[in-house]
Amino acid sequence: MAELTALYSLESLLALDGIDELERMKAEVNPFWNRPRFDIAWSLPVMSGLTEERKISVQQMREASRDELLLFHDPSYIETLELFGNTGSAFSSRFGLDTPECPVFQDVHKYASLPVGGVIDATIGVAEGKFKSAISFAGGFHHAMESQAAGFCYLNDTVIAIKKYKQLNPGKKVLYLDTDVHHGDGTQAAFYGNPDVLTISLHEFSMGFFPRTGGVEEIGNGEGKGYSVNLPLPPLTDDVEYWRVFEDVVIPIWQAYKPDLVFWDVGADAHIGDPLADLMLTYDTYHRLSMTVRQLVHLGRRQLVVVGGGGYEPVTAAKIWTIVLADLADVALPPALPIEWVQLVQKYGCTMRRSGWTDRPRRMEDEHYPKISRAVDDAIKKVKELIFPTFGLE
Calpha distance 244→249 (Å, rounded):
8
For residues 7 and 41, give the distance between their C-alpha atoms in angstroms, rounded to a whole number: 12
Looking at 142, 143, 182, 271, which residue is catalytic? 143
For 39, half-sphere exposure in the C-beta direction (CA atoms, 13 angstrom radius) is 20
Alpha-carbon span 320 to 265, nearest angstrom: 12
Sign of CA pseudo-dihedral 277, 215, 191, 185 = negative
Contacts of 129 (CB under 8 A, 6+ apart): 1, 2
**Radius of gyration, alpha carbons of the chain:** 20
Q: Specify the 3-state DSSP secondary structure of 316.
A: helix
C-alpha distances (whole Å) from 9 to each of 51, 119, 137, 311, 352 are 10, 11, 8, 18, 24
DSSP string, 143-168: T-BTTB-BTTBSS-HHHHHHHHHHHH
The verdict on whether 142 is a catalytic residue reads: no
C-alpha angle 35/38/41, rounded to 5°? 140
Contact 288, 138 (CB under 8 A): no
Q: How far apart, in Å, are the Cα atoms of 217 and each of 126, 241, 256? A: 33, 21, 20
* Strand duo 174-178 + 133-136: pairing: unpaired
d(CA 376, CA 303): 30
Q: Where are the beta strands (DSSP E) in 148-244?
A: 174-178, 197-204, 228-233
In 211-236, which positions are buried (b, 16+ CB within 10 angstroms) versus exposed (e)?
Answer: eebbebebbbeeebebbbbbbbbbbb
In the three-class reduction of DSSP (H, G, I as helix; E, B as strand; rest coil), residue 176 is classed as strand
Active site residues: 143
